Structure 1
Amino acid sequence: MDPLTLGAIVAVCTILVLFSGVSVALGLLIVSTGFILIFDGARSLELLPEILFGKLDNFALLSIPMFIIMGASIASTRAGADLYEALERWLTRVPGGLVISNLGACALFAAMSGSSPATCAAIGKMGIPEMRKRGYPDGVAAGSIAAGGTLGILIPPSVTMIVYGIATEQSIGRLFLAGVIPGFMLVGLFMAWSLYATWRSGDQRLLAQTTYSWRQRFEILPRVLPFLFIIIGVLYAMYGGVATPSETAAVGALLCLLIAMIIYKLWNPRDLWVVLRDSTKESVMILFIIAAAGVFSYMLSSLFITQSIAAWIGTLEVNPWVLMGAVNVFLLIAGFFLPPVAVILMAAPILLPIITAAGFDPIWFAVVLTINMEIGLISPPVGLNLYVINGIAPDISLKTILTGSLPFVACMVIAIILLCIFPGLATWLPNAVMGTAI
């Protein structure tokens, strides 16, 4: 059978299996095993355990559970509420300062936790009721938090970037740096839209915030500065050549746990157990998907599907940007239905040779891919952040949350366009800090 035809059959079968309700990892294993058994015979199945566990034999994977523990320990405390309150007190005189405070808190908490749902929950519990109480439109209040939460997979340290780096054998350090400027650019776009929507509502009361004394502003800083110092320390250790990403993540996780215990009195063994239990569950889920995706990639390669698709794309005489547009549409649709980790692990083996052959930088592409995944987090039918916000504020309809999120989707599309016009937004900082990649 022609490999391209076989690839189309594999794609259809994969979609059907994943839509059946099974987990992503199990679905990939079912599809991989079935096609290997049919086309390579039963003896080929002997290789699957070796491939499955071999994919996990990577020291860099240790950074995933460590960064997850780091985020879970922060999310289990009042750090999100304190961060929100600190920014609110310092930005109180800025026009529309409350919505800026929420978006700024989302950006900083996302950098500390690396988790989009955790960011939505931590900041939204405080921010949404406060914005609604002061008269902000429900759409702006809910949409800004839902969109701000997506920054968790872009601003370093990002588990999604780690997974991409492992799947494509790219430098995790470069990927982290590549997400910094685009992350702040997205925050700026989100803030600009939120201020415009607030101004358009015509309620001038939104521009006047509660005043705070300098004492009130400074007294809350000791509760949040330690976490910010940890982020700075983690990045310095990683880029200063002090430690590897895995070692840095381990130290960061330990320090976050200690700060949670010392500052937020997280001494109860039950609370610590919840942090470690939830971190273990999420880590195992991600690692299982990585292992299953390794088997899936092996199946695609052994049946010459990956090579044939790359060769076919190479024969097409199309503009590289047309090709990139098609890739973005594919990623956007995939992100509507699948979590970011699954999309990256499934698509990377196929897309990487295509985008490199077309002359695109794989580090730059990682940022574009991640922003596409961010759009998926606030778009139906899955739209995880939409449901998190709906759980926090059940009296705000899902339709209102979605409507409020759509302008932020447009901001993300603008960000992708800007990255295409100015790729240096993603590549300048990695090259400046770590030197030009060979």
Structure 2
Amino acid sequence: MRARDTVAIPPPPGPQQPEGQYPPPGTPPYPHAPYPQGAAPQGPFPHGAAPQGPYQQAPYPGPYQPWGQGYSPYNRPVPFNGLAIAALVLGILCFLPAVGLVLGIVALVQIKRRGERGKGMAVAGMVMSSIGVVLLALTVATGGARDFWEGFESAAGDSGGSAFSLEVGECFDTMSGSLKGLAFDVDEVPCKGEHDAEVFADLTMDEGDYPGDDELADAADQRCYLMRNTYAMDSWAVPGDVAVYSFTPTEQSWRGGDRKVSCLFGNNDEGGSLTGSLRNDQLTLDPDQYSYLSSAAAIDNALDGIPEAEYIDDDLSGYKEWAGHVSEVLAWEADGLPEHRFAADAAKPVAALAKDLERSAKEWEKAADASDADTFSEHYEKALKLIEPERTVTTRKALGLATTPPAYGGGGGTGSGGEDGPGIEV
């Protein structure tokens, strides 16, 4: 068989070999110097041997150069090292700083061996991860991790004081639909629609050891009850199914410094709800309404100071002292109420009411001077009749306030005291 001639294909033109400047056909595949005339070699060179005598090897004088490593129509950039990228991400996020530091070190070794890119990212990741390691060590040494975990537990177990924020005037629904037991979160809703509760006050309990669940709840309820009329000044406008509730700190949140109590209006029924806001205070009342209700609140507070003894005979001196205080408050309001300039249609009813307050104050004064329980009871009953709720309806109507007296105890679950008159037995 005949061997086929092999034809050498020159490399394509490119940046390193300008077109048209390749060695001429027939040139040996290695550089050489031209033979002197008449001194052509006798046969091929021995394999691996150089020509002898005057035949010395020299570079081809033309512009041809061997292909360089960088030339190729399919050349791609050197890739980034994956561990360097991971080290930088962990360093920025400060997540698992020790891992980020190790990845940065390994990345530098791989980059040097493989010739990859990403040295700057690896170094940056190592620096930020090193800072994270130092901060983590300081946190552990100073107890910061423990404080963080205790704070997390406190928030998770809180009953409303710290786990979520409640502002006065907000209405909300609980996740369970109940205002009893633990509450981890609430959904704020518009007060004009149905809702589980409305926040009417917040207060701060005294410092000290945790008093216990029941003791804290009782103390919070008592203080909230006393504050109910500062938000719902017109107790007549409070429906009969409304009760006072409170959100108090848990033992865990108490240890974390939580002392906040939120006072709430809710429904007496476990699954009941409220509709519309109960707020009527200086922010929602006009000046005439506010002036009248402020006077009524002062009288209510005085009447609420009735002694705990069920019978007058059991604490005559206490009842007499109470009657003296009520007399002073009524006299003060009888003088001060007309000083406010009421609208024309309300001025006359208010003046008539002030006269009743003045006469009632005199009867309370006589009760305070009574020598026995019977005399006290006689003046006490006359005094109450002069300020009984029905005598204020005309004034309330003129002022645009509620005109239906609440049931005994007033204001449903909230109680109003004063304008009904306290109930005592002689």
Shorter-normalised TM-score: what interval?
under 0.3
TM-score w.r.t. length of structure 2: 0.22
TM-score w.r.t. length of structure 1: 0.22
Q: Going by fraction, where is strand more abundant, 1 or 2? A: 2
Higher relative contact order (CA 8 A, sep 6+): 1
Question: Higher Cα Rg: structure 1 or 2?
Answer: 2
